[in-house]
Chain A
Amino acid sequence: QRFKGLGITIRFILIQNRAGKTRLAKWYMQFDDDEKQKLIEEVHAVVTVRDAKHTNFVEFRNFKIIYRRYAGLYFCICVDVTDNNLAYLEGIHNFVEVLNEYFHNVCELDLVFNFYKVYTVVDEMFLAGEIRETSQTKVLKQLLMLQSLE
């Protein structure tokens, strides 16, 4: 029942590798550390058994996961059952393209060594469990500005 938040769209965003290591975990709902760990493990279990003949959508508890695999990484967004699957698939791709541009052909190690920057990218594109900025050029411009402040 905790997951039935009226209006909350994105519950969490996860980036995991095939072995189950978390490269990013952004939560838009309150969970205990234990619950978070459990969710991470469950998502990993559910998503890694699927292959090319499956859709990119998995019914998960009483909502759903939209996911996409890029090389060894799974990008998962957990949304409400009523949300538009195809649109969130585009959202994931948009996000990945920004990462790719920002890190110049991003690979997993980039996400590891620059984890706090990955969070910055997420926070430029998503907020309060909603998609915030979708223009890749705009996001990249902001990211470079932020970088210059360091």
Chain B
Amino acid sequence: MPAPIRLRELIRTIRTARTQAEEREMIQKECAAIRSSFREEDNTYRCRNVAKLLYMHMLGYPAHFGQLECLKLIASQKFTDKRIGYLGAMLLLDERQDVHLLMTNCIKNDLNHSTQYVQGLALCTLGCMGSSEMCRDLAGEVEKLLKTSNSYLRKKAALCAVHVIRKVPELMEMFLPATKNLLSEKNHGVLHTSVVLLTEMCERSPDMLSHFRKLVPQLVRILKNLIMSGYSPEHDVSGISDPFLQVRILRLLRILGRSDDDSSEAMNDILAQVATNTETSKNVGNAILYETVLTIMDIKSESGLRVLAINILGRFLLNNDKNIRYVALTSLLKTVQTDHNAVQRHRSTIVDCLKDLDVSIKRRAMELSFALVNGNNIRGMMKELLYFLDSCDPEFKADCASGVFLAAEKYAPSKRWHIDTIMRVLTTAGSYVRDDSVPNLIQLITNSVEMHAYTVQRLYKALLDDISQQPLVQVSSWCIGEYGDLLVSGQCEEEEPIQDEVLDVLEGLLVSNLSTPVTRGYALTAIMKLSTRFSSVNRIKKVVSIYGSSIDVELQQRAVEYNALFKKYDHMRPALLERMPIMEKTATNGPTEIVQTNGETEPSVLDTKHPPPVTQPANQVRTLKQFWYLHSVLCCCSDPVSPWTFQLQLLSPSSNVVPALNQGTVTQVIRVLNPQKQQLRMRIKLTYTHKGSPVQDLAEVNNFPPQSWQ
């Protein structure tokens, strides 16, 4: 049998393949050759064959038939064999395969080998992929090597120990004695890996953590020497002495100083020193500074030091290197709650980052900006954030819009500003706002009584421009329905539309393809409400009757009910479609339900469940007014999932005249069906005539005895 081709040869051949299929063919051919070679138990070329197999594996082809061969190579005496064997083991084997355990004995022998490079191979393999069983078996050997004077091996043993501890945490104790003198090492590599080992032990065990706290002075000293020492060619990176070691020490200090006042105090000075003395012109210096900042923020540092840390982050924000800006924003976001004032000082720089090109920087800048908004800076910040909302990617718009709403709600300097801001969001990012913003906005607008005219005018104009953004359309329709009278009455500053124009717009929404079914519902209800605010009642009647046969069930039901309102209960219409009262925000679903009750639910309840008492018209109006508010308030308290937890039945009042001079009373029975045992509250509005003039009276009953509803 001819000698198997060399690795280089194979690589070269495979690279000449022009198609995937050609490559596959070559690979299959070679694998077949390798397989027969393995079967012949050829020692001479095993190494070469496995190397080739590993190369093909790297290209993505299966190579599991070579696993046992790797073991044979590991057991060989030749270094080249061992080396490829161990590499193969690391690439092809994992701890879920039984074959893996067969390595244990080989590794054990190699850990005690006379050549340090073989020992090194074994340590490396064990440290990268040793299973828990292997680690248990070999921990003792690793521990021995941790105490050797050979620094090459000590470094590897330290990290191997880290792996062992991760796999079998109970073995941590056994490494404790060996750690005693680790930090007095001069060798940087050993020092570095020792710090890693100590870090691992401290992170895993609170006992170890307390035990190692006594090392803080020593660590501080080492760090100090690193900073003060002169040029050390072996570990120098851009003029800084062993930055990797500095970073690891800082990290260990962080873990030791966390929640411990004494340790934190002991490291205060060195942290300040590192923070002020580190050269910042290159990334490597900034890496150290960054770790320092992380440490300062995590331990119990004094406030001066914390301010220093935040100022470093502030300087990072001005750095040309976007990586550095990114880490600064990430850290500032974590500290903005605890060190709010210090972070505020860098607000303008943070806001500038909204214009950055990198998406992750923009996102952090946005989150941070919202965290920094307060009553003092709301106007300026909102300008920037609205500008950002205009121009940002779609993935940001929803979050930004929500953030703007929240901030506006908390800090709005005036109602007009608030409504203007909301309008701006709805017009620029209207399709991205969340669903719950519609009822929230409606409630806000309702409660800003003096702004009704202004708001409805602006919303109407917005509708004229664009009917595609559903949340905007919904809020606008609702407002027009509610305040349409203000819109056409000349209360607005500009030229007011005429009634027919407004109805045109609303009808347009009903037929437009852009409107969702929910929007159509809003539009229809709005049109209905205008029947008591506008004079073109006939037109409205016509529209309503048309939709009585709409395919959309919701729309149809509404239209049918409104029709009924026109035909059978026309005398109740004004009362039912009256202006909404100021709403309290009781439950989060409160406003939604109130909106639903407005003008549409009463008719259905009236029609299907509770025929109203048939008495004189004036009486009915009074009765209904009470009923309406009763219903809306009760819905406020009811289960958000099913608004119809109550059923009401109003019986006729005992009389429709209250005798004068307290000579008698009028009673009216209201029957409440409350199957879900929700708390009862009632708001009553009485309207009556006294000496010919109408009088209104409002009352609330909140103290129903629990027995009545439980």
Contacts and interface: CB of A to CB of B under 8 A. Distances in A.
Interface of A: 5-8, 21-23, 25-26, 28, 30-31, 33, 37, 53-57, 59, 84-87, 89-91, 94, 112-113, 115-116, 119-120, 123, 127-135, 137-138, 142, 145-146, 149-150
A82 B127 CA distance: 23
Nearest to A29: B129
Nearest to B50: A116
B637 interface: no
Contacts of B59: 21-22
Contact of A130 (B94, B159, B286): B159
A149 B79 CA distance: 7
Contact of A135 (B54, B234, B327): B234
B51 A116 contact: yes
Interface stretch (B209-217, B238-246, B522-530): B238-246
A127 B87 contact: no
A128 B8 contact: no
A91 B127 CA distance: 20
Contacts of B200: 7
Contacts of B15: 112
B155 A133 contact: yes
Interface string B29-61: 000000000000000000000010011001110
Contacts of A5: 166
A84 B326 contact: no
Contact of A132 (B95, B189, B288): B189
B380 interface: no
A144 to B, nearest CB: 12
A115 B10 CA distance: 13
Nearest to B361: A55
Contacts of B234: 135, 137-138
Contact of B244 (A8, A33, A91): A91
Contacts of A56: 323
B237 interface: yes
7 contacts: A5-B166, A55-B323, A55-B361, A123-B128, A128-B127, A128-B128, A130-B193
Interface in B352-366: 357-361
A13 to B, nearest CB: 11
B237 A132 contact: no
Contacts of B472: none
Contacts of B166: 5-8, 128
Contact of B322 (A55, A84, A87): A55
A5 B160 CA distance: 16
Which 10 pairs between the two chains have the least Cβ-Cβ distance?
Answer: A86-B287, A128-B163, A53-B357, A127-B159, A128-B127, A134-B244, A87-B287, A128-B159, A55-B326, A149-B79
Nearest to B62: A33
Contact of B327 (A85, A120, A128, A132): A85
A74 to B, nearest CB: 16
Contacts of B193: 130, 132
Interface of B: 8, 11, 15, 51, 54-55, 58-60, 62, 79-80, 83-84, 87, 90, 94-96, 117, 123-124, 127-129, 152, 155-156, 159-160, 162-163, 166, 188-189, 192-193, 196, 200, 203-204, 233-235, 237, 242-245, 247, 251, 283-284, 286-288, 290-291, 294, 322-324, 326-327, 357-361
Given A130-B159, A134-B242, 7 more contacts: A7-B166, A53-B322, A54-B322, A55-B323, A85-B326, A116-B54, A131-B192
A139 B290 CA distance: 27
Contact of A55 (B95, B129, B360): B360
Contact of B358 (A54, A113, A115): A54
Nearest to A146: B117
Contacts of B189: 132-135, 138
Contact of B203 (A7, A55, A112, A129): A7
Nearest to A137: B234
A1 B256 CA distance: 28
Contact of A84 (B235, B287, B358): B287
B79 A134 contact: no
Contact of A86 (B62, B95, B290): B290
Contact of A134 (B83, B203, B204, B235): B235
B323 A89 contact: yes
Contacts of A31: 94
Nearest to B60: A37
A135 B241 CA distance: 10
Contacts of B55: 115
Given A7-B166, A86-B324, A112-B11, A150 B79 contact: yes
A120 B80 CA distance: 12
Contacts of B58: 22-23, 25, 115
A30 B95 CA distance: 8
Residue among B123, B124, B251 with the highest chain A CB neighbour number at 10 A: B124
Given A8-B166, A89-B287, A57 B326 contact: yes
Interface centre among A21, A23, A55 (most CB of B within 10 A): A55
